[in-house]
Structure 1
Amino acid sequence: MELIELEKFWQLINEKLQLWLETGVKHLPNIVVAILIAIVFAIIARIVGQVTQNVLRKTLDSRQIADLLSSIIKVCVLLTGMFVALDFIGLKGTVTSLLAGAGIIGLAIGFAFQDMTENLIAGIAMGIRKPFQIGDIIEAEKVFGTVKTINLRNTLVETFFGQLKIIPNKILFRNILTNYTTNGIRRIEIPVGISYADDPEVAAKVIVEALNDCDFIIKKEETAVYGESFGDSSVNLLVWLWIDYPGETGFMQARHTALATIKTALEQANILIPFPIRTLDFGAKGGEKLNTMWQKKANIERQKKGTEDTESNTPDEKNVEGKKA
């Protein structure tokens, strides 16, 4: 019984081996062609990856983004070649299973590393859109400084206080971002107050003429002074001027020089920049003015004093009668 079972077992194995051999010989040309297809696609992927990398490095400022995109393109070409080769030898079900598995794995990775993936996608998008470049001065999410490094996941910004801030790319991609380097100019606004006794038009003319003599001010025809409000002690004005930014004269130095120039010009024109002054006036809406109140009080005190003097000079009636007796 055992010999018969062994013979059946070996017979089954021989049949399977023979079937596989026949199938392999039958599909041998297809296998050779599939291998050649895979080799051709590998060569094409290498060439496409190298060309794409060179083009993207010239196009994009971030070397990391360029390398990542070129690698993604290279992998896509390789996977296409592998799927074509598998389909050529009749393994369509394998191709479908691989695609489904790749989709499930990608979905799982996306959920597991959602924050990292979002920063990565934002970094790639910003590398293509180029909202800013290395060396630009930007402001976003209360961070104001110069861009030092642009990575795939974050951007390194050096603030004007000398600190390095690491900003996730998704924050720069989602929120409002101000790039001060794009236009190359910036407006400075300086508030100044003059006394109510001075003419705002004369003050504006004096300030504009003095500022336009400064070399760092550009667009001199747009240097202007506007009235803002009536303050407690002064007529408040706003001075607008334009400078190159960033330029040889920094923002802080330009504003300091402009402020000093305004002060000197107003002093030379005998226009007062007043200190805080408080005036008490009770004459509004039926009230009584302070000087009138003081005048009335002085008159009352003067009358009281005159009455007291009169009474002191009048002789006592009893003393007068005693003298008469």
Structure 2
Amino acid sequence: MDFPKLDEVYKLLSEKLETWVESAITILPNIVVAFLIAIVFGVVAKIIGNVTGKVMRKTFESRQIASLLTSIIKSIVIVAGIFIALDFVGLQGTVTSLLAGAGIVGLAIGFAFQDMTENFIAGIAMGIRKPFEIGDVIEAEGVFGNVKEINLRNTLVETFYGQLEVIPNKILFRNILTNYSYLGYRRIEIPVGISYADDIDVAANVITDAMNTKDYVIKKEETAVYAESFGDSSINLLLWFWIRYPGDPGFMSVRHDAVSTVKTVLEENNILIPFPIRTLDFNAKGGDKLNAMLKQRDSEHQSHQGNAESAATTDSASGGKKSPTDEE
């Protein structure tokens, strides 16, 4: 077996090394410039991150969302600097491969963590739209309470029964959400019934005047009482008035005071709040009332007592004498 001569091997290695050194010397300025580009982009990313972080913390209630968006912006700037530096050195193929690999990895992660990704994107979208803030009273998917925390995946709501509900952000983003704190006021509706013998307009006026004396009532020109329907024992009215919400006094305290006020003012004006009245009919075809049946029973009972007393009187008048038939 013939081995190559050492001189030829040495010559070949020398030529290769010389070629590499020449190439390195040729692209050395580009390498230096690429490092400078990467450093500059790193400094710019840090400056942009600091400025963006301050803006995001003022914009978003959630610290997590603010920090995440700041990190994403910084990462985009740094990655852009790296790609520009690689392209400047002449490694266009490497840049293309990195972009393709990043796309494939991102797609795989998206499919693997689809639910988490959806909540994450919904959290960012809600952070931008801000349909509610920490401390707001919201209602969604049967949950009603105060917002305590907003993070990237879910929102924590403390209900008025003292439970802490964890709601995924995608549910709040997809479905109907009611924010009771957004406008700062709320209407309260209180039903009340009056008797058919009382005047509807008089009752409405006295209730409206009494409610408008309350400090918690706002938009007093819109306080009103409407006749709603005919009830079994009453004319059903509906009281409307507006309060600040959330505010002090609270919703339950206001409603309690309103019900008490309506009862008091109706009593003072001799307007009856009736209770249900029932008439019992014991005849399948109708017509026989309970009071009539009781009267008939009492009459029959008195008639029986009268007959018994009459018979006793007759026996007493005969003196207890026996007839001839009895003696036999």
Please report the TM-score for the alignment, with normalisation by the length of structure 2: 0.83
The answer for the alignment partner of 1:211 in structure 2 is: 211
The amino acid of 1:114's aligned partner reads Q
Alignment of 1:152-301 (within 5 A): 152-279=152-279
Q: Tell me, yes or no, if structure 1 residue 94 matches structure 2 residue 94.
A: yes
Unaligned 5+ residue runs, structure 1? 282-286, 306-325
Secondary structure of 1:119's counterpart equals helix
The amino acid of 2:102's aligned partner reads A
The amino acid of 1:170's aligned partner reads K
Q: Distance in 1 between matches of 2:136 and 2:15?
A: 74
Q: Distance in 1 between matches of 2:13 and 2:151?
A: 59
The answer for the alignment partner of 2:38 in structure 1 is: 38
Distance 1:8 1:114, change over 3 A: farther
The answer for the alignment partner of 2:150 in structure 1 is: 150
Q: Distance in 2 between matches of 1:127 and 1:215?
A: 36
Distance 1:142 1:8, change over 3 A: farther
The answer for the alignment partner of 2:314 in structure 1 is: none
Q: Distance in 1 between matches of 2:128 and 2:148?
A: 18
Q: Distance in 1 between matches of 2:275 and 2:5?
A: 116
Unaligned 5+ residue runs, structure 2? 304-328
Q: Distance in 2 between matches of 1:94 and 1:103?
A: 14
Q: Distance in 1 between matches of 2:14 and 2:153?
A: 58
Distance 1:5 1:190, change over 3 A: farther
Q: Distance in 2 between matches of 1:56 and 1:89?
A: 36
CA shift for structure 1 position 175? 1.2
- Per-residue CA distance 1:70-121 (angstroms, 9 max, x = gap): 1111111111111111111111111111111111111111111111111111
Kept in 2: contact 1:233–1:278 (CA 8 A): no
The answer for the alignment partner of 1:104 in structure 2 is: 104
The answer for the alignment partner of 1:83 in structure 2 is: 83
- Per-residue CA distance 1:241-272 (angstroms, 9 max, x = gap): 11111111100010000001111111121211
CA shift for structure 1 position 189? 0.4
Q: Distance in 2 between matches of 1:131 and 1:19?
A: 64
The amino acid of 2:232's aligned partner reads D
CA shift for structure 1 position 19? 2.2
- Per-residue CA distance 1:264-313 (angstroms, 9 max, x = gap): 111121211111123579xxxxx98779xx7xxx9xx99xx9xxxxxxxx
- Per-residue CA distance 1:218-260 (angstroms, 9 max, x = gap): 1111111111111111111111111111111100010000001
Secondary structure of 2:119's counterpart equals helix
Q: Give % identity.
A: 68
CA shift for structure 1 position 15? 3.5
Secondary structure of 2:241's counterpart equals strand
CA shift for structure 1 position 10? 5.1
Q: Distance in 1 between matches of 2:8 and 2:256?
A: 102
The answer for the alignment partner of 2:306 in structure 1 is: none
CA shift for structure 1 position 34? 1.0
The answer for the alignment partner of 1:321 in structure 2 is: none
Please report the TM-score for the alignment, with normalisation by the length of structure 1: 0.83
Q: Distance in 2 between matches of 1:155 and 1:141?
A: 13
Q: Distance in 2 between matches of 1:227 and 1:198?
A: 13
